[in-house]
Amino acid sequence: MTRSKAIREKCRECAGETAKEVTLCHIFNCTLWPFRFGNSLKSTSFIKRMNLGKERYPKEFAEIKSIFIQNKGIQAYVAQFYGIK
């Protein structure tokens, strides 16, 4: 098993075996969070999946955005997906 597949499987296990919950994961301080889709943050696959998640689950993404705003120590690469400056 490759490293990316192992990370993806661990994230699915943590999220209750649902892809939706992996996409909507709000445990930002997890070291696996940036790689939870099996790709790095800079890959086009990661960006496409995040954008698709925003379209499919707008209410949930709004809730995650509010969590980000409350958390002062967010990383810039995470904030860009939620439109937080």
What lies within 8 Å, CB to CB, of 85 at 6+ separation is 79
pTM for the predicted model, two decimal places: 0.68
Q: First CA to last CA across the chain, in angstroms?
A: 38
Q: Hey, is 43 helix, strand or coil?
A: coil
Return the pLDDT at 14.
93
Q: Is the pLDDT of residue 7 over 70?
A: yes
pLDDT tens string 29-83 = 788 888 888 777 778 887 788 888 889 999 988 887 777 766 655 566 566 666 6
The distance from CA 27 to its chain's CA centroid, rounded to whole angstroms, is: 8
Cα 57 versus chain centre, distance: 13
The separation between CA 50 and the C-alpha centre of its own chain, rounded to angstroms, equals 7
Site of tokens 């919950």: 21
